[in-house]
């Protein structure tokens, strides 16, 4: 039986009372995590342009004291595909977080908050850790291979509000699964007031020889500020392949990390971002090689139009004695307007010597020659342009193994690319 929906009054702005209300009825260990995170939140100042990571972003429109959390249900609700009984019989769990807290509290206690710690050095990640109240939990037992994709849709409703969904994924040794996360909705277009906040966390543990295919799509409406942290721990011989799509929200800060903890572990991180109007995207990736003989590959591709602003900061960190590391990182940006601002900071920190690390970053435009070629084949200038943009993003789409999701990505890209002024 799930916990009854919490009944509480919410104050405007973020207060510890909100936390108390959310935590009532929860186990003590969870509440102490929340309180620790709350202290981090209170301690950290709001980022300003003086912080290197924030210098290109303007989030002054965000008014924390104008935000009210809804009392009855979270501002962002989850919708999960029903798990066929065949899988639940084998011990697979795919349920919402509140159900998980009652039914699977032992597993949760072992993993929850172990990756996204209460002292995460980011104000919004700490806020999420203190105030999350729903989300999804996926557990795949040893040697079970779930061959159908499992999907969770997070839908944002209301305005001047905030939602903090949390996702926890545990893939036991030798198991395999595909998880699709979609983030949609948000305040209606043209609504005023402060932007609404989406601050979410996804914790992933892939155990020995496990394999997770992970797809995430973010397509919020414009008046949302998105603060997202996704971190995966990859054990010995385990693998995770990520495909991330970033399309909506007027501001987005994505922190995506893989922590390579066992030999033979592999992480493939692929992402597309299509930015237009005044969208501001910050993409912060970290490939953290704690153990040697691990591989990580990363490719982030962005298309920027109008007066969009992007900052890609990627770190490959190789710890001492992580010999045999093989890490690659690429950030490619296609700039379509002269108002665009595009920063890229690919960083390497290497403390080991038997390895191969490379990275590449480019910022460029469509090639005149390619445009000319297509036009000489009878394509209109607009069509030639669109074809080339979609071709630029194609290598990322090709990584999506779920056909319906691949089509959805393609159509979202297409809509944003062919958009006329």
Partner 1 sequence: MSNVATDQILGGAYKEGFHDDLKSVHKVPKGPTHAVIDYMCDVKGEPDWMRQFRHRSLDLFLKQDLPAWMPGLRDIDYDAITYYMSPIDKSANKWEDVPEEIRRTYDKLGIAKEEQKLLGGLGAQIDSEMAYHNIQESLSKRGVIFLSCDEGMKQYPDIFKEHFAKSIPPEDNKFAALNSAFWSGGSFVYVPKGVKCDVPLSVYFRINAEQFGQFERTLIICEDDSFCHYVEGCSAPVYTTHSVHAAVVEIFVKDRARCRYTTIQNWSTDVYNLVTKRAFLYKNAVMEWVDGNLGSKRTVKYPSCYMVGEGAHGEILSLASADKGMWQDAGAKLVFFAPNCTGRINSKSISGHGGRASYRGLVQVNEEAKNCRVQVNCDALILDPVSRSDTYPVMEIDGDLATIEHEASVSNVSEEQLFYLMSRGIKKEDAVSMIVNGFIEPIVKELPMEFAVEINRLINLQMEGSVG
One of 337, 380, 404, 415 touching partner 1 (CB under 8 A):
337
| Inter-residue contact 330 to 361 (CB < 8 Å) | yes
Stretch that binds partner 1, among 74-82, 119-127, 281-289, 352-360 (CB under 8 A): 352-360
Closer to partner 1 by CB, 167 or 325: give it.
Answer: 325
Stretch that binds partner 1, among 63-71, 351-359, 372-380, 394-402 (CB under 8 A): 351-359
DSSP string, 191-255: --SSPEEEEEEEEEEE-TT-EEEEEEEEEE-TTEEEEEEEEEEE-TT-EEEEEEEE---SEEEEE
Stretch that binds partner 1, among 165-173, 198-206, 349-357, 383-391 (CB under 8 A): 349-357
Phi-psi region of 240 (alpha: psi -120 to 50; beta: other; left: phi over 0): beta
Stretch that binds partner 1, among 13-21, 96-104, 356-364, 407-415 (CB under 8 A): 356-364
Stretch that binds partner 1, among 224-232, 233-241, 355-363, 373-381 (CB under 8 A): 355-363
Closer to partner 1 by CB, 140 or 335: give it.
Answer: 335
- What DSSP character marks residue 145? B
- Phi and psi of 349, rounded to 5°? -130, 110
Beta strand 150-156 with 76-80 is antiparallel
To which residue do tokens 């966390």 refer? 201
Closest distance between partner 1 and the C-beta of residue 323, in Å? 7
Closest distance between partner 1 and the C-beta of residue 300, in Å? 14
| Inter-residue contact 205 to 173 (CB < 8 Å) | no
Tell me: does residue 299 bind partner 1 (CB under 8 A): no
In 251-376, which residue ranges form alpha helices assigned H by DSSP?
368-376
One of 60, 89, 338, 420 touching partner 1 (CB under 8 A):
338
Closest distance between partner 1 and the C-beta of residue 299, in Å? 14
Q: Which two tokens stand for residue 326?
A: 């093989």
Closer to partner 1 by CB, 137 or 312: give it.
Answer: 312
Tell me: does residue 48 bind partner 1 (CB under 8 A): no
From the CB of residue 36, how many other CB atoms can be counted at a distance below 10 Å?
Answer: 17
Please choose, from the candidates 148, 125, 15, 10, the residue with its C-alpha nearest in 3D space to the C-alpha of residue 69: 10
Tell me: does residue 360 bind partner 1 (CB under 8 A): yes
One of 348, 371, 379, 387 touching partner 1 (CB under 8 A):
348
Please choose, from the candidates 19, 53, 310, the residue with its C-alpha nearest in 3D space to the C-alpha of residue 164: 19
One of 21, 215, 259, 355 touching partner 1 (CB under 8 A):
355
Stretch that binds partner 1, among 33-41, 130-138, 257-265, 344-352 (CB under 8 A): 344-352
| Inter-residue contact 272 to 398 (CB < 8 Å) | no
One of 342, 389, 396, 413 touching partner 1 (CB under 8 A):
342
Tell me: does residue 419 bind partner 1 (CB under 8 A): no
Closest distance between partner 1 and the C-beta of residue 47, in Å? 13
Helix and strand tally (H, E) in the chain?
A: 9, 19
To which residue do tokens 């490379």 refer? 358
Closest distance between partner 1 and the C-beta of residue 354, in Å? 5
Q: Which two tokens stand for residue 207?
A: 């155990």
Closest distance between partner 1 and the C-beta of residue 345, in Å? 5
Tell me: does residue 44 bind partner 1 (CB under 8 A): no
Kindly list the residues in this chain that would bind partner 1 in the complex (CB under 8 A).
Answer: 52, 56, 320-321, 323, 333, 335-365
């Amino acid at each position: 039986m799930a916990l009854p929906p919490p009944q509480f009054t919410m104050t405007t702005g973020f207060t510890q009372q909100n936390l108390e209300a959310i935590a009532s009825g929860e186990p003590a260990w969870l509440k102490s995590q929340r309180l620790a995170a709350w202290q981090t939140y209170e301690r950290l100042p709001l980022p300003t342009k003086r912080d290197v990571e924030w210098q290109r972003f303007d989030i002054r429109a965000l008014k924390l004291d104008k935000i009210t959390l809804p009392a009855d249900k979270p501002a962002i609700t989850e919708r999960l595909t029903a798990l066929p009984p065949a899988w639940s019989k084998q011990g697979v769990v795919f349920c919402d977080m509140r159900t998980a807290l009652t039914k699977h509290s032992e597993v949760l206690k072992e993993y929850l908050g172990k990756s996204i710690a209460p002292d995460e050095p980011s104000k919004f990640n700490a806020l999420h850790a203190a105030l999350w109240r729903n989300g999804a939990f996926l557990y795949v037992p040893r040697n079970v291979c779930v061959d159908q994709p499992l999907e969770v849709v997070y839908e944002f409703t209301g305005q001047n509000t905030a939602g903090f969904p949390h996702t926890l994924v545990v893939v036991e040794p030798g198991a395999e699964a595909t998880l699709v996360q979609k983030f949609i909705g948000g305040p209606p277009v043209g609504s005023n007031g402060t932007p609404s906040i989406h601050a979410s966390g996804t914790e992933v543990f892939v155990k020995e020889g496990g394999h997770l295919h992970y797809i995430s799509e973010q397509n919020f409406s414009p008046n949302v500020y998105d603060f997202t942290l996704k971190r995966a721990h990859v054990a010995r011989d385990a693998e995770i392949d990520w495909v991330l799509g970033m399309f909506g929200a007027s501001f987005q800060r994505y922190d995506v990390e893989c922590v390579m903890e066992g030999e033979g572990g592999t992480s493939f991180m692929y992402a597309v971002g299509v930015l237009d109007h005044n969208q501001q995207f910050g993409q912060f990736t970290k490939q953290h090689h704690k153990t040697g003989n691990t591989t990580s590959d990363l490719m982030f591709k962005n298309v920027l139009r109008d007066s969009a602003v992007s900052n890609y900061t990627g770190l490959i960190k190789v710890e001492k004695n992580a010999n045999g590391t093989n890490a690659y990182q690429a950030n490619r940006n296609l700039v379509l307007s002269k108002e665009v601002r595009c920063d890229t900071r690919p960083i390497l920190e290497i403390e080991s010597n038997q390895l191969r690390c490379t990275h590449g970053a480019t910022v460029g435009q469509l090639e005149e020659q390619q445009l000319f070629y297509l036009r000489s084949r009878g394509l209109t200038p607009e069509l030639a342009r669109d074809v080339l943009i979609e071709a630029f993003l194609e290598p990322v789409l090709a990584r999506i193994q779920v056909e319906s999701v691949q089509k959805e990505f393609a159509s979202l890209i297409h809509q944003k690319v062919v958009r006329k002024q």
